Amino acid sequence: MFPFRAPVLALIFLFSAGAHCLSQNTAKPAADVSSAATKATVLAEEGHCETALPALERSTRVADPELRRKVGLAGLRCSMTVGRNDSALRFLEMLARDFPHDPEVLYAEVHAFSDLSTRASQTLAGSASSSLQAHELLAESYEMEGKWDQAEKEYRAIVAQNPQMPGIHFRLGRLLLSKPNPPATVAEDAKREFTSELAIDPTNAGAEYVLGELARQDSQWAEAIKHFSRATELDASFGDAFLGLGSSLLSAKLFNEAIPPLEKAVKLEPGNPATHYSLATALTRAGRKQEADKEFAIHRQMTQKGEAGPQQPAAEQNPN
């Protein structure tokens, strides 16, 4: 009645047997990979990094997450130990991709990136100590240490070598404003640097922003609006620039015009109470009380929780 039953059963049997053999064959390489990865991590822990590193590099795709994590950490340590920066970067990429929130991984990443940075800076200082990049790196280091005069000297040396190098006049202007006990001319000196930067690089949104801030502090609303507007055009994600623009328009009594940039500032920086306060003020002055009350309520809630700063941002202390 079923003439093909026996052949079909035979085929099913053969297929099952083949599948069993296949599973054994595929399982074996996986087990071998795990075994090799485990041996490599043990070698690394025993300090045999030169021997362990090639095997660790081949084991970064091992299936077991915990073993893969051990491989990544061991590989990173060994790469740094033997000076293989290229290998270290590959292990860092794998660890960041597969274990982005692991505390031990993050700790290892911090130290590895710090060591790689130190090595690169030492190489730069040793092989090209008179280069513009060496001067710039040294200036940045002095800035971080608060050694303002030494940093300024290095930046000035760069300008003397290459007056058209992008970014240096901006850093000089920022440094001048950061110095403690600056001279009375500091604002004008800084403005010159930012203006020089824009002559070299017209796309520097940071320079436009600081020029806007300096103008705003002098109640030069038209000048502030011009610079803040330009900064927002150059960088559509620059929340502080939108806040500065909206606040300056508000101070200039251009209430309706102030609302769009302040709405953008709120969207970009929802956790900044100053954006909500400024928007609420602009909405109030524009006669949009209901919307204003919502923003005032958000601002009040945030400041009551102590999330940030003063009840009223400096840009809005005297909007009239």
Give the pLDDT confidence of 280-307 residue by residue, as tens digits: 999 999 999 999 999 999 999 998 876 4
Asked, for residue 155, whether it belongs to a domain, the answer is: no
User: Which residues have a Cβ under 8 Å from the Cβ of 277 and sit 6 or more positions away?
Assistant: 295, 296, 299, 311, 312, 313, 316
For residue 73, give the nearest of 33, 52, 48, 104 by alpha carbon: 104
Asked, for residue 164, whether it belongs to a domain, the answer is: no
What mean pLDDT comes out for the span 234-256? 97
Question: How does residue 31 score in pLDDT terms, banded at 50, 70 and 90?
Answer: low
Question: How does residue 24 score in pLDDT terms, banded at 50, 70 and 90?
Answer: very low
Q: Which of the pair, 29 or 57, is modelled with greater confidence? A: 57
Q: Which amino acid is at 239?
A: G
pLDDT of residue 120: 87
Q: Which of the pair, 2 or 284, is modelled with greater confidence? A: 284
Asked, for residue 105, whether it belongs to a domain, the answer is: yes
What mean pLDDT comes out for the span 304-311? 56
Give yes or no for residue 99 having a pLDDT over 60. yes
pLDDT of residue 219: 96
CATH number at residue 318: 1.25.40.10
Q: Which of the pair, 309 or 276, is modelled with greater confidence? A: 276
Portion of the chain with pLDDT greater than 70, in percent: 86
pLDDT of residue 118: 85
CATH number at residue 93: 1.25.40
Domain termination residue (choose one: 115, 144, 159):
115
Average pLDDT, the chain: 86
| CA angle (96 as vertex; 33, 46 as ends), nearest 5 | 50
Asked, for residue 19, whether it belongs to a domain, the answer is: no
Q: Which of 152-161, 181-190, 220-229 has the highest mean pLDDT?
A: 220-229
pLDDT of residue 121: 83
d(CA 249, CA 8): 84
pTM: 0.69
Asked, for residue 194, whether it belongs to a domain, the answer is: no
What mean pLDDT comes out for the span 240-259? 97
Span of 120-129, 144-153, 244-253 with lowest mean pLDDT: 120-129
What mean pLDDT comes out for the span 35-62? 92
Asked, for residue 103, whether it belongs to a domain, the answer is: yes
Asked, for residue 214, whether it belongs to a domain, the answer is: no
Domain termination residue (choose one: 115, 150, 185):
115
Q: Which domain holds residue 272?
A: 234-320
Number of domains in the chain: 2
Domain termination residue (choose one: 96, 115, 134):
115
In the chain, what is the straight-line distance between the N-terminal and C-terminal CA atoms, in Å?
100
Asked, for residue 317, whether it belongs to a domain, the answer is: yes
d(CA 49, CA 45): 8
